[in-house]
Amino acid sequence: MKKIIVTGGSGFIGSNLVNFLIKKKYFVINVDKLTYASNKKVHFDKSSKFYKFYKLDLNNQKKIIKLIRKYKPRAIFNLAAETHVDRSIDGPKKFIQTNINGTFNLLEVLRYLKRKKITPKLIHISTDEVYGDIKKNLRSRENDKYEPSSPYSASKSGADHLVKAYCRTYNLNAVISNCCNNYGPYQFPEKLIPKMISNIFNNQKLPIYAKGKNSREWIHVLDHCEALLKLYLKGKSGESYNVGSGLNMKNLDLVKKIIKIFKNLGVPIGNKVKITFVKDRPGHDFRYALNSNKILKELKWRPKINFEKGLESTIKWYSENKKFLNQISKKKYEKRLGLIV
């Protein structure tokens, strides 16, 4: 049976990837240290012969080596990361420890195991934010220079550079996915889409940074999972692949679309549900946009999920899983983050 390790497999993208791979009949080993945003109650089939979970930190090299030696996986999908930009502004240290040091430790483990003839392919998951602000009508290509603006994107940039350096210097087998904004089930409700959905359900204001004109490219998480499987099966070692849908939308337009879908579904909208513009965060990039021609042409991948249908199904999922959404009501998640005082 083909064995796969997913680091950060209890996070948003990770939990969707774990379930996706199990359905594809892979044996999945989920390695996660279970931080605040982990999906501890995600519906993995824990009785499945295709699934194992280990609570581990990537910075624990000895235990990671032992685990890889035990299972000898064909691939490792590295999704272990701190991802919330506002949190990186408040406290960059965790982002350096997890995103850079964690990746470095995993690469050191793979370098060591290569001498023992254990050579899983590494699929390192990164972000479009490493490219920084993109001018209107332009789209980032894989060979564009990195211009990160936040501690988060800087930490992901550093990790990407380490992966490429280890590929070239030590001939490790690794590829990088630079993906646009994901949406779908199991996303922690401090991110834009689940936060807006949560606030509508709870009859609260809908806060949007600045004037809501910042533009982001959106892809359903399951389309991203399909792309990651392609990278494992066909991705060329040492290469980066942009993974995007080609669909850009201003944040204000996105929130208006969410409200419209709620109305179309017949969900009552409370009198406190109003779009409110709030102070922008420092260094906020205006626009991200990817050119994904490389993965489209070379690996024959393309997104399948229509945005409006995907957004509607996402709203329905959160409607049926309000306990998950209500995590945001805890006091420690209510405080506005990402402001310099």
Residues involved in catalysis: 128-129, 152
- How remote is the C-alpha of 232 from its chain's centroid? 17
CA nearest to 227, candidates 158, 156, 305, 165 = 305
Distance from C-alpha of 73 to C-alpha of 120, rounded to nearest angstrom: 6
Residue type, 76: I
d(CA 248, CA 14): 24
Q: CA geometry: angle at 98 spanning 93 and 100, to 5°?
A: 90
Structure tokens at 221: 């998480």
Question: Is the distance from CB of 35 to CB of 246 less than 8 angstroms?
Answer: no
How far apart (Å, rounded) are the C-alpha atoms in residues 217 and 238? Answer: 25
How many whole angstroms separate alpha carbon 90 and alpha carbon 145? 26
